[in-house]
Structure 1
Amino acid sequence: MGMLDRYKKKGGFYQLLQLLETSPSAKREQFLSLIAGESPVWEEALRKRILTIARVYSWDGQYLVEIFSRVQPMTLAYALHGSPPEQIEQLLNCLPPISKRKITDLMAETNPSAAEKGTCVSKMLSEVRGFVSQGIIRLEKVDPELHIPENIEEILNSSVHAVPTYETEAMKKDGKPNIVGESVEGSSSQEVEFLKRKMNQLASEVNALKHENSVLKDKLSQIKKIA
């Protein structure tokens, strides 16, 4: 039984992603190497969706304020501690002046160790994941590359099985691909990649429509109550 087998069911991708995000960097790379040995498709999909604090800090201020206003001030102060002053200034500009002053005062009054800062960074990332699950942060709008389609396990498993089929058809009797086979293999990989991107796009659009439908239902319910 491979390492990935237990994660190929619905929700498994997210569980594995959380495991990677909460692991130390060295351990994370070990996990990713093992995953790559079983499925390069899964390894690539996971690697590009790993949430880092640098990635969060790169988001627009309208989304950062949703995060910064919800995490504990001390957690944010510890996580930002040691960052370049210009970066801190830029990041905290999304907050109201009073909230911004509270964070800067906490940063001036404290001197967290590297371990304490690391703990607060991890806590912030876990909270961001929670905000994503609650719909407070919608990755399809904030950072589309990090968005996880609902059926991502199905998409990845289909991609895993698609390429060997073409390779088998393109093989000679002696087990070596001929010139035509090499061409077919290359084009099939491109087709699989194209279809994968298309399915991710469609899944994102479906999720956006579901959200809009939910908002419209709430508005209609409110109108009916008023009427």
Structure 2
Amino acid sequence: MGDNDAVERSSQIIVALDFDNRRAADEMVDRLGDQCRFYKVGMELLTAAGPDLIEHLVAKGKEVFLDLKLFEIPNSVAGAVRVAGALGVSMVTVHSMGGIGIMSAAVEAARDFPRLRVLALTVVTSMTSSDFVDIGVTGSTSTEEQVLRLARLAEGAGCHGVIASPQETGPLRGVLGARTLIVTPGVALPGESPSEHARTGTPRAAVAAGASYVVVGRTITRAADPAAAFRLVRANLEP
């Protein structure tokens, strides 16, 4: 694999900074160095470290995927998206189950920030079809059918992409076409099984099915040598 190929594969990897404190996040970014340019910051780390962390990552030339899964009244969602854009965030998530109003408000708020992409969460990767019964989604709806339905709704609202598990990536790519971003959490190297995700797959399988980016957490961040683990994930992305 040439240097350009390595850079291209590296750019598809988003490392999830799933930590509860700023020091641990900073140490991980330092250990990965120039290899990794894209990081996910979720609610736990944002609550612990505040927006200063995001500004710090952006100042270092990193891209930030702010995974807020916004699910609020449209005005509040729009306000949060504008704050994300002002911080220099590259991607922010809204919850597609909030409906057209919430997603459209997020997309409209992002228009003032050309680098900001609004991604709609379809069905969280910890959910299975049996969970739909618990929350009142009855009938014979499968997880895949629900994901595709919500993805079409997100597309209609103008979202730039969707979040979905490796198992739904192929069907989604067929429905959404080539330009829509598909960001895929729940990936792990062969032989690993990320316990918090019910619908998983390998990085290679996700990208081969059409994922634009894969989100990798513990495989890298809990490794004895995170930089070496990052290289293993990058190697796994080779066709």
TM-score relative to the length of structure 2? 0.25
Structure number with higher helix proportion: 1
Larger radius of gyration between Structure 1 and Structure 2: 1
TM-score relative to the length of structure 1? 0.25
Structure number with higher strand proportion: 2
